[in-house]
Amino acid sequence: MVLAIGATWDCWQHGTRMSQQRRKSLGHTWYRNELRSRGGAMPVDYIPRIQEKYAQEGYPAYQWVVNPDPPPWQPLRRPLAECRLGLVASGGIYVTGQVAFHYKDDTSFRVIPTDVKTTDLRATHFAYDLTDARQDPNVVFPIDTLRGLVSEGVIGALAAHAYTCMGGIYSARRVREELAPQLTERLLAERVDTVLFVPV
């Protein structure tokens, strides 16, 4: 999820206003070097890849959200086994009977009861291969997995509702000003202790 201040990727990449330490703590290059030194596989660089795709379509450069400052911090107030967990997922999940998402800057969201029948869940999205999500929504909306962890006692409880949305909203400002505040308000009203975000 993209929830805060926007800035350009170029600004971050060149990092002229950032300390070396800050760049190191944020820097993807640093991560890649670390992985390489461990002999690990290289994660895909999605930012340049998606820039390239937008450029091919004649879109203006996408303004990636970049937050160079240290993020706000709130430790868990109680053990996870006593927490009420919220779930927000951006993979385009809806329940049959609900209006499906569309693919052009859809900032709406769906409210999904966390006791939903898994077979009633549907997936729609413009940017990823939906084959597996339509066979087993748990790959992007881990509802059975979370219910299992509640029965095991790993998590205290789930909030009464999960919230889903569409990814790929071109305007970070609209996410920040329209979508995020509504989700925050609802999650707080459900008295969650913490929230799991599952983007795609």
Contact positions with another protein (CB under 8 A) in 78-97 = 79-80, 91, 94-97
How many Cβ atoms from other residues are within 10 Å of residue 172's Cβ?
Answer: 19
Between 14 and 134, CB nearer to another protein: 134
According to CB under 8 A, which one of 36, 134, 173, 174 is a site residue for another protein? 134
Distance between CA 112 and CA 198 in Å, rounded? Answer: 15
Closest CA to 62 of 71, 70, 72, 52: 52
Task: Find residue 111's DSSP bridge partners.
Answer: 163
64 counts as binding another protein under rule CB under 8 A: yes
CB of 86 to another protein, least distance (A): 12
CB of 74 to another protein, least distance (A): 7
Between 127 and 157, CB nearer to another protein: 127
According to CB under 8 A, which one of 118, 145, 171, 184 is a site residue for another protein? 145
Distance between CA 87 and CA 182 in Å, rounded? Answer: 14
CB of 101 to another protein, least distance (A): 7
Please answer whether residues 31 and 89 qualify as being in contact, where contact means their C-beta atoms are separated by less than 8 angstroms: no
N- to C-terminal Cα separation, the chain:
9
According to CB under 8 A, which one of 84, 86, 114, 122 is a site residue for another protein? 122
